[in-house]
Structure 1
């Protein structure tokens, strides 16, 4: 692009703000007041008498004050005339009352549009009924009743009266609208998570398309240098799709592997299919089909196909490929590379095939109180799962209830597909409720044909810390009856950075025969386990933490002891040092100990280098990562040299990604060592390409992969070949229209408020784009369709005279479309010289009505094919028609 989108938009806006109008101009539903000024000299671009006067589209979001607007009908003189003396601070210099409409803001939130009158004396009178309607959304019930009673029977209320009632209101030209100050004590009490899923969203939002959907394609082309199957691998394509019709979502995941090799064969595997419906009245998500349940406490879960209902204020999110299954197990359904982080530090990268895994099977996680696994499947999809010695100790607000109920038949992933076992009914679920400010309690269960687990949980906030406990009993065929208990306490001590600290303790006991219905045998190798952690900030630059664990072995299993000490020191604003010492006395008499030192240097905000040595595994790592840009054109790159100096092996890891307009492109090379170190189990290079087909109503477009919801912005036919840019700023944008369809913003999150802006830099001069932005609060897996521009995109400019030939000065009127009289009129404003500009016209006849004395009107004609600005010249009013 020859110049940044920001500069293009600014140039178009400035073109519309060069000649003065001492009146109000409606921009995108907001009101801006301007001071009178003389017209500027013509620019080089507009020197020709035939060139249209530059008029900008509405300002997206109505942000910022407006000073003047270009509505000049004739070429201007080059000499700049001094502006006439005016009262610079006047909001309404017309000398008469002006009825207007503007957004009412509560801080940064828009409560809605409201009618008001800007008096000739700069006073503001607001529609009382509409005001009480908007305030009812944010006021406590008692306070809402009070203000309704105070304003009962009044058509309008003044700012003075509102100030007396304790609700100061003012016109703010900086934000272009009305702003009301609401006392904190008058507001209703709201739970933030609950408000995000309810109908209490403040202000107006656009509605999603009635029908929308997308299909994502993420492909991987691999070459294996070392591993089970060397050479080029058959291309692998992950396909996931979602379609939404009137609130019901149908989603599906599948895998295709193309059999290009000699022994290969094309395979299509459907991984999961389900219908999802979010009920906002009960704040619950209903799902039918292949379920991915989550569990709490000891009860665990199993993969099911059937029906579920879930209320979770923080986790109403897309179904995930990697599923925590309760306790410390997880399931993956595609071959994946797993990188383990212990207490925030990367320790090992391994290669796993589809299956269910227990964290305790990984020797490098023994004795750790914070385990994070980053799982990247062969299609490049990244998921993160976390485990801790401490169970979930979150409190719920009083009266808030979370629950989940899953029922159906078992459908475990066997190999690369689900095995539907219709003769094995199963169910699981949990419920949690905040009993008061300091106590939350709950219950959970899992039931199958061969057994049952029932548990309870409690979390209490006390003076000594947050205390939580989980208790469960089980009975499983061929195993017997058992029980399990977990009790923990966590406490953080406040204060300055130099004295802040936190402690935690946990105790867990499982009887010999405790098991879940998924277990073939009871694997309770410890009679009990004890864990403790302590962290202390030594200063603003240093911290230390200590964790320990003791497991009392049962029968032939030995006791286990582990300890970990971590020290961190910020050597400079860019350089950090982390040191960790580990000791483990594990089963079968194996003792491990070692030290890991890590130096991290931040070159700038987007680039980091790392050097690390781990004596325990005899490994050293040197790496660098960087990223540049945002939106389309953004890229990132990283590289690591991983040295196993005990065996002399060297592994190279690297990746690079590029964000294109219609696709995500990536390349990676990964080396996986064996869990015990000393050998390389897999080394491969991968080229990855991700793209999507998006559909909203009757529009189709190619897009980058869509993770949840999306917005499609299509150019109106009147824009011709001009492209739409989504979220343009400086030299970046997030999407662009073109040959492959409308622009698609693929990164909208469910139930997250967001404003999406758009611009058309190459639109005809004076073309009215409309709002230039839209506000969304996307439901789950939804799509939006917005059209940039419309038939009503013409701006008319001219000079208005009354019946006596005198300029119609400083007056606001209306323009009605003759062929469509029911359509809302557009506003007409004149400056001191009678010059006017009318935005939002289309070809056809329009009747301009002005509140002169006597009232008068005139018919103007916009010829077919008119685009941008039409010069109307001198327009003379006649008797009202």
Structure 2
């Protein structure tokens, strides 16, 4: 078999391409003419451009006989197919190779039409949709790859402690001075004690003192926490809190907890099956997505097959439309329905909680205690069998009590169903059972606001007990609840609900409650009306009317009247905005049958602390009773540590970000995270800025700026892309030594300007320095930014390596005028 390799241009052939094509076809014809009549066909081996859906996407080494495709090189096929074909299809075809050559029949068997087009000198491929590689496209704008966080700044060693003080003063002349006052001090915080694997110790103490009362310092919850971020599993040891299913309770334990906590550790991940749909585009196209006639997003896609997921849909059946527009302007519309239920898990995902330890109680002094004679276990496991079916099981128990249950969540075109069954066994009481059935159906009726129907039925016997109960509690024998909400006439929104509850006392009447709500906006005013009727031993009716209106962006006024207890209320409030120096608070006036009450709340948010002051005044209609007044002062602050820096700030709720200033900016404040009315934190002479309200495992963009930097100061980086872990902190530095802007004029040895040329600046004092490029004007004048004190050389490659030296002295900031710099002469 003769072998002839002819390289072919990939795209625009032109005259040269036509000539090469003529040579190729001539070579093929000659090869066929000289072939022996009884031998195998002569094959010419060439490297040709290959196209899918009419678009060249790579090259293939192929064997061509005459004008027909004969074989495809195995390795060439694998390199070409990755990224375009389904992985199983690639492997199946590669396995059909004979001595590294894949016969064309192997492609035909996989429903791939591949052929040689002698007119364009291309290998053309048409394939069935099922053979294409499916690419994932998500509509969630902030997806995080928790297995690869290389694009984020991650925290190092960190710790913090919060101190909160509350001082109460009761205005009562019948009490002595010390009896009027009480003080509560809370101290809490966390510290990272190991970096790999990351282990966090968190806890706190508190102390309450009043007249004749001082229990000393009491320990609050203390625990060790380790998060396996990629698996979304949290391990806790100590005072643990944990999740529970419908008929489980979760009393705090001293012990061990292992939980899969997607919401806490992978908050950007959507674990609920919101529907996935595959579609194909054959050429570069724009795809507009509509859900229930509401625009969602526009995607710009290359040819290929795609799985589109993470739709912003409501529970129940949703109508989805994709409008695909190709490069020629031709449109096609793809419509389908998707079903979603928040109780379901995506196929293959699981969530669980396993906890064991001793139940918590209280000591005689009011502190935390444990029942070491009664170890307890609590756990559940849920698994997404399919996107439409989730199963679960749960168990809780002590030596004297065991509780076991199961659950099923199912999505159907007629709504979502969920059922839970649980049975308990308590020594000396016996066995009890409880079950529930939930039905939810959400749908649309020609509008953008959903119609929602929820029905819940619960039935139990009188011996069922929850974990920790010694005798059955007061419970209903059966209960039926239903709620329907939908848009109403004249742009209103209405809802109606009903509740029927039957007790174990057969002589007692069925408790029935019916309610109707309607809300509507009139310009800036929002009006709501609630009507309620309760039928039990007596029949009572109730009406509640509420009117509210915004006063600017942060102020709100509202008033309401409740006929049930004949109370009225007027509220005027200003919400906090999280900036330094912000004031917020509110005034509430309330009237009742026997009292008139006024509550005043004020809150100030400083840079290093927060301060709140409250005062309540209650006036009694009974003239024999004196008014009751209570004033409260609340003060909070924190001390944070991150990677060698310590900062004072407001109390930290989860994680924090710190911004320190470089010594070259000692004369300027650093303003962090500018907002409409101010800044989130400020670095000044009291230390770094501390942003205290940062959520863990969530991307946090942080930006800073110098308020009054030196003239010409180069700030360099002014923002960070932080990704804090649980109870962690990151630190950034505003400014650097490399903040100087140097200006000079370069002349050669003859005094002529070295103009209109590029120069490369490097350091000559053996320190790490990234080269800086500059450019001279006609007069040889140049500007270079990002320099630090030290010695430098500018080299001009276009001038035969001509170079000059200059120095920036220590202590220089901002713009440095170098004056005239002459060419360096080598002797």
Q: Same fold (TM over 0.5)?
A: yes
Taking structure 2 as the reference length, the TM-score comes to 0.69
| Distance change >3 Å, CA 750–CA 680, structure 1 → 2 | farther
The whole-number CA distance in structure 2 between the counterparts of 1:748 and 1:789 is: 23
- Once the two structures are superposed, the pairs formed by residues 611-760 of structure 1 within 5 Å of their partners are 611-627=559-575, 630-644=578-592, 646-647=593-594, 649-670=595-616, 684-728=630-674, 732-760=678-706
- CA displacement, residues 539-568 of structure 1 (integer Å, 9 cap, x when unaligned): 462122111111122136724433343333
Shift of 1:306: 1.2
The whole-number CA distance in structure 2 between the counterparts of 1:267 and 1:440 is: 50
Shift of 1:252: 0.6
The whole-number CA distance in structure 1 between the counterparts of 2:348 and 2:174 is: 55
Please name the residue that 1:443 is paired with.
393
Please name the residue that 1:288 is paired with.
237
Please name the residue that 2:377 is paired with.
427
| Distance change >3 Å, CA 194–CA 477, structure 1 → 2 | farther
2:259 maps to 1:310: yes
- Once the two structures are superposed, the pairs formed by residues 521-600 of structure 1 within 5 Å of their partners are 521-523=471-473, 525-539=475-489, 541-555=491-505, 558-586=508-536, 589-600=537-548
- CA displacement, residues 199-223 of structure 1 (integer Å, 9 cap, x when unaligned): 344x6222213x2111111111112
The whole-number CA distance in structure 1 between the counterparts of 2:383 and 2:757 is: 61
Please name the residue that 1:400 is paired with.
349
Aligned residues: 624
The answer as to whether partners of 1:197 and 1:751 remain within 8 angstroms in 2 is no
The whole-number CA distance in structure 2 between the counterparts of 1:713 and 1:838 is: 27
The whole-number CA distance in structure 1 between the counterparts of 2:173 and 2:500 is: 37
Please name the residue that 1:817 is paired with.
763
The answer as to whether partners of 1:561 and 1:585 remain within 8 angstroms in 2 is yes
Shift of 1:813: 3.9
Taking structure 1 as the reference length, the TM-score comes to 0.65
- Once the two structures are superposed, the pairs formed by residues 465-476 of structure 1 within 5 Å of their partners are 465-476=415-426
The whole-number CA distance in structure 2 between the counterparts of 1:310 and 1:286 is: 7
SS at match of 1:235: strand
Unaligned runs of at least 5 residues, structure 2? 1-81, 92-121, 123-131, 268-340
The answer as to whether partners of 1:567 and 1:578 remain within 8 angstroms in 2 is yes
The whole-number CA distance in structure 1 between the counterparts of 2:142 and 2:722 is: 18
- CA displacement, residues 446-470 of structure 1 (integer Å, 9 cap, x when unaligned): 1222211111122111111111111
SS at match of 2:466: coil
Please name the residue that 2:208 is paired with.
257
The answer as to whether partners of 1:844 and 1:864 remain within 8 angstroms in 2 is yes
User: Which of 205, 222, 239 is matched with 2:152 structurally?
Assistant: 205
The whole-number CA distance in structure 2 between the counterparts of 1:290 and 1:475 is: 27
Shift of 1:740: 2.7
2:713 maps to 1:763: no
Shift of 1:421: 2.1
- CA displacement, residues 781-813 of structure 1 (integer Å, 9 cap, x when unaligned): 111122222222222112345677665555544
- Relative to its length, the structure with more strand (as a share) is 2
Shift of 1:278: 1.1
- CA displacement, residues 261-283 of structure 1 (integer Å, 9 cap, x when unaligned): 3x232621111101111112422
The whole-number CA distance in structure 1 between the counterparts of 2:217 and 2:223 is: 18
| Distance change >3 Å, CA 653–CA 142, structure 1 → 2 | farther
The answer as to whether partners of 2:598 and 2:618 remain within 8 angstroms in 1 is no
| Distance change >3 Å, CA 629–CA 862, structure 1 → 2 | same
The whole-number CA distance in structure 2 between the counterparts of 1:265 and 1:317 is: 43
The answer as to whether partners of 2:591 and 2:597 remain within 8 angstroms in 1 is yes
| Distance change >3 Å, CA 410–CA 567, structure 1 → 2 | closer
- CA displacement, residues 22-68 of structure 1 (integer Å, 9 cap, x when unaligned): xxxxxxxxxxxxxxxxxxxxxxxxxxxxxxxxxxxxxxxxxxxxxxx
Shift of 1:728: 3.3
Shift of 1:878: 4.8
| Distance change >3 Å, CA 720–CA 602, structure 1 → 2 | closer
| Distance change >3 Å, CA 458–CA 802, structure 1 → 2 | farther
The whole-number CA distance in structure 1 between the counterparts of 2:576 and 2:404 is: 51
The whole-number CA distance in structure 1 between the counterparts of 2:493 and 2:544 is: 16
Shift of 1:532: 0.6
- CA displacement, residues 57-83 of structure 1 (integer Å, 9 cap, x when unaligned): xxxxxxxxxxxxxxxxxxxxxxxxxxx
Please name the residue that 1:873 is paired with.
819
The whole-number CA distance in structure 2 between the counterparts of 1:592 and 1:470 is: 34
The answer as to whether partners of 2:86 and 2:133 remain within 8 angstroms in 1 is no
Shift of 1:768: 2.4
Shift of 1:771: 0.1
The answer as to whether partners of 2:389 and 2:410 remain within 8 angstroms in 1 is yes
Please name the residue that 2:800 is paired with.
854
SS at match of 1:852: helix
User: Which of 470, 473, 478 is matched with 1:520 structurally?
Assistant: 470
Please name the residue that 2:361 is paired with.
412
- CA displacement, residues 183-235 of structure 1 (integer Å, 9 cap, x when unaligned): x997436796995471344x6222213x2111111111112358999953321
SS at match of 2:217: strand
Shift of 1:635: 1.6
The answer as to whether partners of 1:514 and 1:524 remain within 8 angstroms in 2 is no
The answer as to whether partners of 2:580 and 2:679 remain within 8 angstroms in 1 is yes
| Distance change >3 Å, CA 793–CA 561, structure 1 → 2 | same
Unaligned runs of at least 5 residues, structure 1? 1-135, 147-163, 165-183, 319-391
The answer as to whether partners of 2:229 and 2:265 remain within 8 angstroms in 1 is no
Shift of 1:410: 1.6
The whole-number CA distance in structure 2 between the counterparts of 1:607 and 1:715 is: 35
User: Which of 409, 424, 428 is matched with 1:478 structurally?
Assistant: 428
SS at match of 2:477: strand
The answer as to whether partners of 2:232 and 2:265 remain within 8 angstroms in 1 is no
The answer as to whether partners of 1:297 and 1:455 remain within 8 angstroms in 2 is no
| Distance change >3 Å, CA 808–CA 432, structure 1 → 2 | farther
- Once the two structures are superposed, the pairs formed by residues 776-795 of structure 1 within 5 Å of their partners are 776-795=722-741
| Distance change >3 Å, CA 204–CA 877, structure 1 → 2 | farther
SS at match of 2:664: helix
- Once the two structures are superposed, the pairs formed by residues 172-321 of structure 1 within 5 Å of their partners are 187-188=135-136, 196=144, 198-201=146-149, 204-209=151-156, 211-225=157-171, 232-245=180-193, 246=195, 247-258=198-209, 261=211, 263-265=212-214, 267-316=216-265
Q: Which has the higher contact order (CA 8 A, sep 6+)?
A: 1
The whole-number CA distance in structure 1 between the counterparts of 2:513 and 2:175 is: 39
| Distance change >3 Å, CA 190–CA 490, structure 1 → 2 | same
| Distance change >3 Å, CA 401–CA 830, structure 1 → 2 | farther
The answer as to whether partners of 1:193 and 1:313 remain within 8 angstroms in 2 is no
The answer as to whether partners of 2:500 and 2:511 remain within 8 angstroms in 1 is yes
The answer as to whether partners of 1:560 and 1:584 remain within 8 angstroms in 2 is no
SS at match of 1:420: strand
| Distance change >3 Å, CA 498–CA 248, structure 1 → 2 | closer
- CA displacement, residues 844-866 of structure 1 (integer Å, 9 cap, x when unaligned): 21122333142332221111222
- CA displacement, residues 588-637 of structure 1 (integer Å, 9 cap, x when unaligned): x2443211111112222222211111111121111111247651121212
SS at match of 1:395: coil
SS at match of 1:771: coil
